[in-house]
Chain A
Amino acid sequence: MLDPTFASALAAIVPPPALLTAPEDTRPYECDGLTLYREQPAAVVLPDDETQVVAILKLCHAARVPIVARGAGTSLSGGSLPVAEGIVLSLAKFRRIVAIDPIARTAIVEPGVRNLAISEAAAPYGLFYAPDPSSQIACSIGGNVAENAGGVHCLKYGLTVHNVRKVRAVLVTGDIVEFGADALDAPGYDLLALITGSEGLLGVITQITVKLLPKPALAQVALAAFDDVEKAGAAVGNVIAAGIVPGGLEMMDREATRAVEQFVHAGYPLDAAAVLLVEADGTPEEVAAEMAEIRDVLTRSGATEIRVSADEAQRLLYWSGRKAAFPAVGRISPDYYCIDGTIPRAALPGVLRQIATWSREYGLPCANVFHAGDGNLHPLILFDANKPGDRERTVEFGDRILELCIEVGGTITGEHGVGVEKLSGMCTQFAPEALERFLGIKRAIDAHGLLNPGKGVPTLARCAEFGRMHVHRGELPHPELPRF
């Protein structure tokens, strides 16, 4: 419940229907793409413009009311999970593509613009926006920046942080700050990188200038089948070690391939233990030369079959399965849990072998579908939440995969973010020295911890507590309780 004085002050800034307080109206905001966690906020506001955002933040800051910013709500780590006593600030009305500059190759957009809508708007100029999370038809660019989103084409073209020029944000105090510059480099501290991936903890993004790239004249994808997952993993390393930087380099194991084939009917080889998708893009000459090299490396790595897309329709068909992997897996299992660890590429075969072993031990099928070129794993653990014990074993299995990722020199999240999901994992990945820096930066910018509290960075107290329980290898009892 909101304090009545606060509620009326809020209503003065964003009058209904842009202010939602009835439980039936706030219900749709209770969770995001990570449905394991739910919480209803005290209120939801849908401001029209930046002036309103400033006023809302000033009001909340003065009243010490927590704020959770929300784009399209597709976060897979609970990044936009509401806080019970706080408000959700939805940027759904910030949908304008303000300007496209084909010469500077940039687009100025509002945070609620969908990722794919940018590429669609840039298409008449022969340009596109490179980072392409699988949810790109729905996810918003503001959320992409907040989470430093990746995607299939990030191997060659970089993550969100590499493709954003400038970000305008409102701090919790209501001050407006511009991060980055229109030029190549901005002097001083790289605050643009600091706000990118900060998961809504440092400011509310109101405008973004993204880089656009010329659309390659031609793209072709090779689909290669392997009779062994480790061989496919090694092939990934061989492609990169040969000095090839493919437009995309993705892998699906048998479990994932079968799920996907039933869903999109792309003609994937069902008997293969693993399938690799390797894309070459550029001018026709470049693509021909690179594709010849790719074929060569894949053959030497033991591919049993290689098909190269003959035309654009076939290329999109080959990709359709990969892009639809999550919903496809959703069809064959009542529930699934998506893991997002990243490892050095050379560690791929060993890690995949270990995941297969654990999958047998736990009796939980695991479909592997991932950005292999980046070493970014997305094991999907299939389970049934209605079966007693399945959920607990799934979480334990997932935690072990992430610990393994850290052990081999990787990270607990490649692109989905920490959110609420991986707070404990942060304690394992980062030493107290680094965590203290994170907390120090947060304190310096949001002294009262009002922006997206309980996400992104664990308190040291939580890590101490987790460390003790960690010995027992168990899930945190009552994870819903705040532990600060």
Chain B
Amino acid sequence: MNTTDSTLRQGLSEVTERLVRDYGERAVTSRAVREQHSHGEGLADAGMPDIVVFPQTNDEVASIVGLCNAARIPVIAFGVGTSLEGHVAALYGGVCVDLSRMDRVLEVNDADLDCRVQAGVTREALNAELKGTGLFFPIDPGANATIGGMASTRASGTNAVRYGTMRENVLGLTVVTADGRIVHTGGRARKSAAGYDLTRLFVGAEGTLGIITEVQLRLYGLPEAISAAVCQFADLKDAVDTVIVAMQLGIPVARIELLDDVQMDACVRYSQLEFEAKPTLFFEFHGTEAGVREQAETIESIAAEHGGSRFQWATAQEERSKLWKARHNAYYAALALAPGKQAFATDACVPISRLTECVLETRSDIAATGLVAPIVGHVGDGNFHLVVLFDPAKPGEREKAEGLAARASARAIRMGGTCTGEHGIGIHKLDALVAEHGDAIALMQAVKRALDPNDILNPGKTVPFERAQRRR
């Protein structure tokens, strides 16, 4: 151990003592709690925090980060741990800031269609709070993530094709920066041309530029009418082509989801659906009664032209819920395909004109590996996911699975797309980011250095930086 390391270690124990003294039972060092805060829903990654603190106010977060900055100790923000790319792993130990107790909806302005929430509010809790106002917050990544976590990973979800991602729906933020200060960005104005767009810079920065403590969000009026439809295809290509034609025509579909035959098979078993194990599209339409009917009829005729069968309607709330629940449980359904195996989900996003090609190539790649890896995706915006199952006990299988995921990233990039449509970079896709962004990496590093010169905020993630290079 060199002197720098021993100084850091000394600083860490001082910070830990101080936090325990100041936060009492809200500062936890037990192994169980630290372990629980070391990973999201993806693969368990090496790296437990040394202490987990549960602040309740902006000032508390600011003081924790200030302490850590003075001692050069890593700080990792934690919501509810639904990340899929290892965002929350404490690669270098340090302090985990669990924001789940900052769970208040601070204000709802119905006339302006916006609200302000603390970062620890989950999206389901927010929508429960909005009940009765006629408003809702549409972004829906499947998991019941916190708004702070969704902002940090620039989450999107099944209805991004209609409502956009967190990028379009965060109006302003309160952020604790690396020096322990509180910065307000954006605001309630619908548009602003004042200063650099710090709001969008922090959105998607995965906790590496600041810790988001409050979020101003855009809300939407609940649509007058909602209907859902399901259509099955003999062939994956026909299903994808249907989506492309629908998008070209500009039909404002609220959600389009593609499930391949493997995924559909898993969902039929897991959620007891009365459908066949064939490539399937799920649609949802939002709008006026007339608008919804018109959209659905147009889609039905496009699907029919592509050999789609069994165009089924679901207008009743329960029916729709059942369908979407099945879609949301796709990840768990996939896991249930092979009990005892491990799985990770990876996502890719390509321009819609390359979607068919990308999905089909990925499909034959999966077949060549002999692995089970269902495809499911928000194909309306060119985004799809693979859930790769592998047997950790079988030598070489994890490597094979990782190879498949790496090739999926490379393929998407080759087709003008991106290695991640919505899960973020975290630690698993750092190499892919370098492949994709090249020159922009240096700029990202410059921004990181400007806002977090000591590299204390979620070090080793998103943008490869000094600490990571030092230890490599």
Report A-chain residues with C-beta under 8 Å of the C-beta of B419: 187
Determine whether A218 belongs to the interface, using a CB cutoff of 8 Å to chain B.
Answer: no
Confirm or deny: B300 has a beta carbon within 8 angstroms of a beta carbon on chain A.
Answer: no
User: Which of A189, A285, A344, A438 contacts B444, CB < 8 Å?
Assistant: A189
Collect the chain B residues with CB atoms within 8 Å of residue A261's CB. Answer: none
The contact of B189 among A288, A342, A431, by CB within 8 Å, is A342
| A304 on interface, CB distance cutoff 8 Å | no
Assess the B443–A375 pair: CB atoms within 8 A. Answer: no
- Interface-located stretch among A53-61, A355-363, A412-420: A412-420
Q: Using an 8 Å CB-CB cutoff, how does the interface string of B329-367 with A read, 1 for contact, 0 for none?
A: 000000000000000000001111100000000000000
Q: Does A459 contact B (CB under 8 A)?
A: no
B177 and A433 within 8 A (CB): yes
A282 to B251, CA, bound (A): 10
A351 to chain B, nearest CB (A): 12
By a CB distance below 8 angstroms, the chain B residues around A182 are: 350-351, 416-417
User: A213 within 8 Å of B by Cβ?
Assistant: yes
* A384, chain B: closest CB distance, angstroms: 29
B residues in contact with A403, CB < 8 Å: none
A25 lies within 8 A of chain B by Cβ: no
User: Chain A interface: which of B12-20, B368-376, B432-440?
Assistant: B432-440
Interface check A105, CB cutoff 8 A: yes
Max chain A Cβ within 10 angstroms of own Cβ: one of B168, B197, B205: B197
B463 and A185 within 8 A (CB) = no
Q: Is the CB of B294 within 8 A of A285?
A: yes
Q: By the criterion CB–CB under 8 Å, are A422 and B194 in contact?
A: yes
Q: How far is the CA of A356 from the CA of B10 in the complex (A)?
A: 64
Are A410 and B189 closer than 8 Å at their CB atoms? Answer: yes
A441 touches B382 (CB 8 A): no
A171, A187, A440 — which one has the most chain B CB atoms within 10 A of its CB? A187
Stretch touching chain A among B86-94, B107-115, B272-280: B107-115
Among A179, A187, A244, A409, point to the contact of B187 (Cβ < 8 A). Answer: A409
With a 10 A CB-CB cut-off, give which of B187, B223, B382 has the most chain A CB atoms.
Answer: B187
Q: CA A72 – CA B466 in complex, angstroms?
A: 42
- Does B398 make an interface contact (CB < 8 A)? no
User: Contact residue range for chain B?
Assistant: 35 or more
> B189 and A409: CB pair below 8 A?
yes
Chain A contact patch, size range: 35 or more
Q: Which residues of A contact B (CB under 8 A)?
A: 101-106, 147-148, 150, 154-155, 158-159, 161-162, 171, 175-179, 181-191, 193-194, 196-198, 202, 213-214, 237, 240-244, 282-283, 285-286, 288-290, 340, 342-346, 374-376, 405, 409-418, 422, 425-426, 429-431, 433-435, 437-438, 440-445, 456-457
Q: Interface residues, chain B, CB within 8 Å of chain A?
A: 109-114, 134, 154, 156, 160, 164-165, 167-168, 177, 181-185, 187-198, 200-201, 203-205, 209, 220-224, 244, 248-250, 287-291, 294, 349-353, 381-383, 412, 416-422, 424-425, 429, 432-433, 436-444, 446-451, 462-463
Rank and list the top 9 A-B pairs by shortest CB-CB distance, nearest first.
A243-B221, A214-B250, A193-B200, A444-B450, A411-B192, A103-B353, A182-B416, A342-B189, A183-B417
- Could you list 13 examples of A-B contacts with CB < 8 Å? A103-B248, A162-B164, A184-B160, A189-B447, A189-B463, A243-B221, A410-B189, A413-B193, A434-B185, A437-B198, A440-B451, A443-B450, A445-B446
